[in-house]
Amino acid sequence: MAETLENQALHLLGQVVNEEAGENIVAMGMVKNVSVSEGKIDCIIEFKENDQKKNEKIFEDAQKALKEIPGVTKVNIITTLHKENSTHANDEVNSNKTNSVGTNQIKYILAVASGKGGVGKSTVASNLACAFKSLGLKTCLLDADIYGPSIPKMIGINEKPHSDGQKIETINRYGLSTMSMGYMVNDENPIIWRGLMVMKAINEMIDKVNWGAADIMVIDLPPGTGDVQLSLIQKLKISGSLIVTTPQDIALIDVIRGLKMFEKTKVPILGIVENMSYFLAPDTGKEYKLYGESKTNEVAEKYDYEILANLPHDPLLLEQCEKGHPLTDLVPDHKVSQMFIELAENLLKRLKLEQLANTN
């Protein structure tokens, strides 16, 4: 079925014409990759020139064509711009890139991801960033969840970043250098953007932000395996990724998709964090399993990854998220804070090992 859909996709993309050149985008070599999985099509299109109006039309025509295929439930089109002497887009994903100009002074870049929303990924990302800071590391926190930015709420920021017209300054809070699309828009306004606009926003939060020198950047990715994730993977040399899940079966199904995405794009997977593994009673300290017996171990063993932490559903942790002060910074000796600090220490060791392996 997948092969049939891929052939159909290529056939339909062959009807999308670059009007200025008078040729279809397949014949011109602009279609770099088409893959189909469970009714979802991922496609990479490489534009030949930086003409936003023309490129946007090609993007829209390609998306419309692919959505017409029976059995297709979702279409993700990643767009890249051809550069002289550059490798193909799908090769770039797998190459040993150097970091973008905006982040070239950051030693490690850690992507915190989840297959679905509602698993506490942003809670993990913000507290983990504070944990790295507590270890003496200069830490950056990038909220890359374009459509649903949570970091401004979790670290209590409602101000706009300053710019000198060339560079945007990070907003510093709790010793972290941060940036989020949530700083730019009104909380009540939905962000309704298409693929090219999303890519532009991601590029600006990387290249136009004055990140400066740092030991580590924690990126809070949006849930799923869509445009933002693939765009960041193409643009940055991500040192490692961390997958966040809950014990629920429905969350674990999406974890597998996340693992496969990072495997396919050659991003090192450092491990899995099971969040809300149990409820930690504040009065007795007793643990209660809210979702029954977890199957996360089965998934980890099947795909040969390690569960690095089983974090509790802790009332104080959630309360401080709502108040905008990560627990790991507010009460560093709290049991949950210590778990985040131990997780940060473990991840740092793994990042160093990955870096050593890549240099040998």
DSSP assignment of 223-270: SSSSHHHHHHHHHS---EEEEEE-SSHHHHHHHHHHHHHHHHTT--EE
Count of domains in the chain?
Answer: 2
Let me know whether 88 and 199 are in one domain: no
Question: The CATH number of the domain where 39 resides is what?
Answer: 3.30.300.130
Let me know whether 184 and 302 are in one domain: yes
Residues in the chain: 360
Let me know whether 151 and 69 are in one domain: no
Q: What is the mean pLDDT of residues 211-228?
A: 87
Let me know whether 242 and 319 are in one domain: yes
Instruction: Give the separation between CA 293 and CA 323, rounded to whole angstroms.
Output: 31
Let me know whether 270 and 179 are in one domain: yes
Which of the pair, 261 or 176, is modelled with greater confidence? 176
* Residue 251 pLDDT exceeds 80: no
Question: Domain boundary at 63, 92, 121, which?
Answer: 92
306, two tokens: 């390690």
pLDDT band at 255 (very low <50, low <70, confident <90, very high): confident
Compute the mean pLDDT over every residue in the chain, rounded to the nearest whole number. 83
DSSP assignment of 274-297: E-S-SEE-TTT--EE-TTSS--HH
Instruction: Give the separation between CA 216 and CA 232, rounded to whole angstroms.
Output: 16
pLDDT number for residue 298 = 87
Let me know whether 253 and 294 are in one domain: yes
153, two tokens: 């709420």
Which of the pair, 153 or 201, is modelled with greater confidence? 153
* Residue 348 pLDDT exceeds 70: yes
Nearest alpha-carbon partner for 196 in 184, 206, 204: 204
Let me know whether 31 and 109 are in one domain: no
Which residues, in sequence order, are CB contacts of 187 under 8 Å at separation 6+?
none
Quick count: other Cβ atoms within 10 Å of Cβ 358?
Answer: 11
Question: Domain boundary at 41, 74, 92, which?
Answer: 92
Q: What is the mean pLDDT of residues 177-190?
A: 76
The per-residue pLDDT for range 279-329, each reduced to its tens digit, is: 878 788 788 888 778 888 888 888 899 999 999 998 899 999 999 999 999
Let me know whether 189 and 304 are in one domain: yes
Question: Domain boundary at 92, 124, 157, which?
Answer: 92
Helix H or strand E encompassing 210:
strand 209-210
Helix axes 52-67 and 2-13, enclosed angle (nearest 10):
140
* Residue 96 pLDDT exceeds 70: no
Instruction: Give the separation between CA 356 and CA 277, rounded to whole angstroms.
Output: 33
Structural domain for 60, as ranges: 2-92
Question: The CATH number of the domain where 128 resides is what?
Answer: 3.40.50.300
282, two tokens: 């504040």
Does the global pTM surpass 0.75?
A: no
Let me know whether 87 and 123 are in one domain: no
Let me know whether 312 and 204 are in one domain: yes
Nearest alpha-carbon partner for 249 in 306, 295, 311: 295
Let me know whether 290 and 337 are in one domain: yes
Instruction: Give the separation between CA 93 and CA 284, rounded to whole angstroms.
Output: 49
Let me know whether 185 and 324 are in one domain: yes
